[in-house]
Chains A and B, each alone.
Chain A
């Protein structure tokens, strides 16, 4: 699924400029604890999280995550955004809850990361 499609499905707002909306993302992972993310994500995954501190971006970099969607409409602070720009990781803010967003993506055919 392309990043552009994902942003439409989650009704999200792209926070970082210059993101490649054609990036192919193959699976998604929803987590608020960073070590959970590192446990079983595959390369090029989408991360849905409520955690907006810069460590979310650090974890994403280490886990080769393709993009981050912040749930419940949370807007990340400037430190997080500038770190994401530096690392080239697109950030999206989406208005719905984690459960709702995961459900929407799952229904649209997005795969789970541990499969």
Chain B
């Protein structure tokens, strides 16, 4: 249940709970247990145990007989013997011999299961050889999870910072990040996915929200054009550079018969059934023109179409949509002339 999406989650609290569930499976017991562990011998007197528990502020201790784990004695055992008036007993008389343990390489979920199943207050942790390696209580688990969540948040922030500075960190004459998406014809279910991913990428890179919006709209319209009008689909390539984003949408047919007319607001060659889906308003290319700083459309009927869009990233370079001149249209004369 890994959350890699950059989409806003309903609330920060909800994603916090998911992280904890993930961590319970991911964290190993050895990462959260208390170690080294304070131990007693079978001969230790209850009075000594009392002092140990009091001064070290712990609730129980494993009992080791010459290094071998033979039992566990807890504060409950101590209280019972004090109530009986028997402070001088050796712990061996009151310890629990049936010891439930966990392995240090197991995940925390195993410990949680054992706590639930056996109702014990603490679990001695053993290593692969069966030697005592540490001890685990409920509060150790809680503390370990809280630490891990704290670390995760820190890492998320570092990642976000790094992504937005990627162009500064990577040194070259001219760095660009190219994203390519294959668009299938008539694939309405996936319509908008490429533009959604491009928006997400730009968010990660720390782009200005206005730029993200314009790139999103332009790419979405280009993507829907490929889905609606092409026979075999096409490709959208987005090249992100520090100062600009260039989007190239290409396809292999059927091509645009009249490019000038295609750029007119309201003109659409989409079939009727497209309108039932909410498209075919004839505004796609117009919207792209409004969102972009530069636009070039070329097409050869029977061969394919190429749409190039440029959006500048620095606000002093980018012109607002309306003040930009009409998009330039080129017609490749290869197949025929009108």
A-to-B contact residues, CB < 8 Å:
18, 32-36, 38-39, 43, 49, 51, 53-56, 58-59, 61-64, 79, 86-88
User: Known interface pairs A34-B278, A36-B281, A55-B192. Does A87 touch B7 (Cβ–Cβ under 8 Å)?
Assistant: yes
Number of B interface residues in the complex (CB < 8 A): 32
In the complex, are the beta carbons of A51 and B217 less than 8 A apart?
no
Interface of A is mostly: helix
CA distance A36 to B11 in the complex (A): 32
Chain B 1-23 interface mask (CB, 8 Å, partner A; 1/0): 00001011111000000000000
Give me the 6 closest cross-chain CB pairs, A-B, nearest first.
A58-B192, A35-B283, A33-B281, A35-B281, A51-B278, A62-B220
In the complex, are the beta carbons of A38 and B221 less than 8 A apart?
yes
In the complex, are the beta carbons of A58 and B220 less than 8 A apart?
yes
Residue of B nearest to A49 (CB): B278
CA distance A61 to B198 in the complex (A): 12
User: Known interface pairs A35-B284, A87-B7. Does A63 touch B277 (Cβ–Cβ under 8 Å)?
Assistant: no
Chain B 242-282 interface mask (CB, 8 Å, partner A; 1/0): 00000000000000000000000000000000010111111
CA distance A20 to B7 in the complex (A): 16
Q: Taking the nearest CB of chain B, how far is it from the CB of A67, in angstroms? A: 14
Set of chain A residues within 8 Å of B220, measured between Cβ atoms: 38, 58-59, 62
Set of chain B residues within 8 Å of A56, measured between Cβ atoms: 278
Partner of A58, one of B5, B196, B280, B283: B196
In the complex, are the beta carbons of B195 and A55 less than 8 A apart?
no
Set of chain A residues within 8 Å of B11, measured between Cβ atoms: 18
Residue of A nearest to B196 (CB): A61
CA distance A79 to B277 in the complex (A): 14
Set of chain A residues within 8 Å of B189, measured between Cβ atoms: 54, 79
